[in-house]
């Protein structure tokens, strides 16, 4: 039996997302094209690193580093995964790039487009791989849905969509050091979860590739509580096609339904359902067969673990092939997303200290 190509990961930070990511790296699945090894953990302390490895990497023996810098210098790490709060992504990426490491960095890629451009420029100069960990885009459901929309024209001409992410967070009750409370860490619903409805709007309304990206017109409002942006509503409008999206993110209410995105077209609509806008599980095409009557066709997407394996596989294969960018989440798309979120925040009145740097 031939050996699978192997990618050795260096995990930066031991928070929630890092624990989810490492669990999925080693999840049981059929037909794997690549093997993942949890090679090293970098943390603010060796105790935290050891505890993380004990709890979340039971079948691995990663090297534990009491700093991120030491991890970047480990020659046995092929790709660094950055799971720190948003405000640290820029510096973590710049440090890893300086050490010549390939990088998968959690979303949002940075606090604003200026930071994102700085990091991507540094990666380009150094010739390393770097990608934003927008795991939603790597899920097979997204590629299949785009086929239904833009190749099969399953609901006719696409005209508008709505998508939202409700994550109840009682910001006022959190310690001032929480990343949900501290604006220095990038607190706010848009960068945390609003990026997912925005992603649905981009992937379902815009069939263009990364060479030809359109910046939609934006109309946005934001609400703040305890100094933190807790609700964001946005209308996106594509001038070229007239397509529109209404997207929303909030910390103030629980989800009222499992429909995370609804896309309308001239011949029907599609409901994407799931736990939330980052965890889609299925989509149903409702095609109009006569006025007001719809025929439903459901497409289910069971996935191993939580579904991080798709972005992990694609990243590993890119790194092993010596690519510098992801075809699924190209640099130009990361910049477009950051520019849109910058404009939403400009209209909504959310300013981070990093914007004034």
Ligand X SMILES: NC(=O)c1ccc[n+]([C@@H]2O[C@H](COP(=O)([O-])OP(=O)(O)OC[C@H]3O[C@@H](n4cnc5c(N)ncnc54)[C@H](OP(=O)(O)O)[C@@H]3O)[C@@H](O)[C@H]2O)c1
Interface residue with ligand X, options 62, 83, 197, 216 (CB under 6 A): 83
Q: Does residue 222 have a cis peptide bond before it, meaning omega lies within 30 degrees of 0?
A: no
**C-beta atoms surrounding 32 within 10 Å:** 13
Residues paired with residue 11 on neighbouring β-strands, in sequence order: 41, 81
CB of 128 to ligand X, least distance (A): 20
In angstroms, give the least distance from the CB of 86 to ligand X.
4
Q: Would you count residue 85 as binding ligand X (CB under 6 A)?
A: yes
Binding residue for ligand X (CB under 6 A) from 135, 160, 165, 251?
Answer: 135
Choosing from 84, 166, 189, 273, the residue that interacts with ligand X (CB under 6 A) is: 84
Work out how close the CB of 14 gets to ligand X at its nearest, in angstroms, rounded to a whole number: 3
Question: Judged by CB under 6 A, does residue 15 bind ligand X?
Answer: yes
Cα–Cα distance for residue pair 82/117, rounded to 1 Å: 17
Report if residue 106 touches ligand X, rule: CB under 6 A.
yes
H-state helical runs in the chain: 16-25, 46-56, 68-72, 86-98, 113-126, 135-138, 140-150, 189, 195-205, 309-320, 331-348
Residue that is written with structure tokens 């439903």 in the block:
296
- How many secondary structure helices (H) and strands (E) does the chain include? 11, 14
Say if strands 259-265 and 228-237 run parallel, antiparallel, or are unpaired.
unpaired
Within residues 214-273, the interface with ligand X by CB under 6 A covers none
Residue 169 CB contacts under 8 Å (≥ 6 apart), including other chains: 180, 189, 230, 251
The only residue of 95, 192, 206, 333 in contact with ligand X, by rule CB under 6 A: 192
Instruction: By CB under 6 A, tell whether 278 contacts ligand X.
Output: yes
Question: Which residues fall within 8 angstroms of residue 16, CB to CB, at 6 or more apart?
Answer: none
Residue 43 in the binding site for ligand X (CB under 6 A) = yes
Among 107, 138, 262, 336, binds ligand X (CB under 6 A): 107
Binds ligand X by CB under 6 A, chosen from 86, 101, 139, 243: 86
Residues in contact with 329: Cβ distance below 8 Å, sequence separation at least 6, in sequence order: 131, 132, 134, 137, 138
Given a contact cutoff of 8 angstroms between Cβ atoms, the answer to whether 107 and 249 are in contact is no
| Residue 14 or 314 with smaller CB distance to ligand X | 14
Task: Give the interface size with ligand X as a residue count (CB under 6 A).
Answer: 20
Strand order from edge to edge, sheet including 35-42: 63-65, 35-42, 6-12, 79-82, 102-106, 130-133
**Binding of ligand X at residue 14 (CB under 6 A)?**
yes
Determine which residue in the list 7, 13, 110, 120 makes contact with ligand X, applying CB under 6 A. 13
Distance from C-alpha of 32 to C-alpha of 308, rounded to nearest angstrom: 13
Question: 90 or 243: whose CB is closer to ligand X?
Answer: 90
Distance CA 154, CA 286 (A): 9
- For ligand X, the binding residues in 141-180 under the rule CB under 6 A are 179
Indicate which single residue of 6, 44, 61, 225 sits in contact with ligand X (rule: CB under 6 A): 44
CB of 195 to ligand X, least distance (A): 8
Q: How far is the CB of 189 from ligand X (least distance, A)?
A: 11
Min dist CB 316 to ligand X, Å, is 17
List residues binding ligand X (CB under 6 A): 13-17, 43-44, 48, 83-86, 88, 106-107, 133, 135, 179, 192, 278
């Amino acid at each position: 039996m031939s050996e699978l190509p192997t990618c050795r990961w260096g995990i930066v930070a031991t928070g929630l997302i890092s624990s989810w990511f490492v669990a999925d790296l080693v999840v049981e699945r059929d037909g794997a094209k690549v093997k993942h090894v949890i090679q090293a953990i970098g943390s603010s302390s060796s105790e935290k690193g050891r505890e993380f490895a004990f709890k979340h990497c039971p079948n691995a023996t990663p090297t534990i580093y009491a700093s991120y810098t030491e991890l970047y210098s480990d020659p046995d790490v092929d790709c660094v995964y950055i799971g720190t709060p948003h405000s640290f992504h820029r510096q973590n990426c710049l440090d890893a790039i300086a050490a010549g490491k390939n990088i998968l960095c959690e979303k949002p890629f940075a606090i604003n487009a200026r930071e994102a451009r700085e990091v991507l420029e540094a990666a380009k100069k150094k010739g390393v791989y770097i990608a934003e960990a927008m795991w939603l885009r790597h899920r097979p459901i997204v590629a299949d849905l785009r086929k239904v929309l833009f190749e099969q024209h399953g609901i006719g001409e696409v005209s508008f969509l709505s998508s939202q992410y409700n994550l109840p967070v009682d910001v006022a009750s959190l310690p001032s050091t929480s990343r949900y409370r501290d604006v220095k860490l990038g607190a706010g619903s848009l960068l945390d979860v609003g990026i997912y409805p925005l992603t649905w709007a981009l992937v379902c309304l815009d069939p263009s590739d990364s060479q030809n990206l359109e910046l939609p017109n934006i109309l946005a409002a934001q609400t703040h509580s305890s100094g933190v942006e807790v609700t964001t509503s946005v209308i996106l409008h594509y001038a070229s096609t007239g397509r529109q999206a209404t997207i929303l993110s909030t910390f103030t209410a629980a989800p009222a339904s499992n429909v995370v995105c609804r896309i309308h077209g001239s011949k029907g609509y599609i409901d994407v359902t799931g736990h939330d806008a980052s965890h889609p599980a299925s989509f149903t095409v409702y095609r109009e067969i006569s006025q007001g009557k719809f025929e439903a066709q459901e497409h289910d997407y069971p996935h191993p673990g939580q579904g991080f394996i798709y972005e992990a596989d694609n990243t590993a294969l890119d790194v092993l092939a010596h690519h510098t960018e992801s075809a699924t989440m190209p640099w130009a798309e990361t910049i477009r997303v950051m520019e849109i979120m910058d404009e939403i925040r400009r209209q909504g009145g959310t300013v981070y200290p990093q914007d004034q740097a």
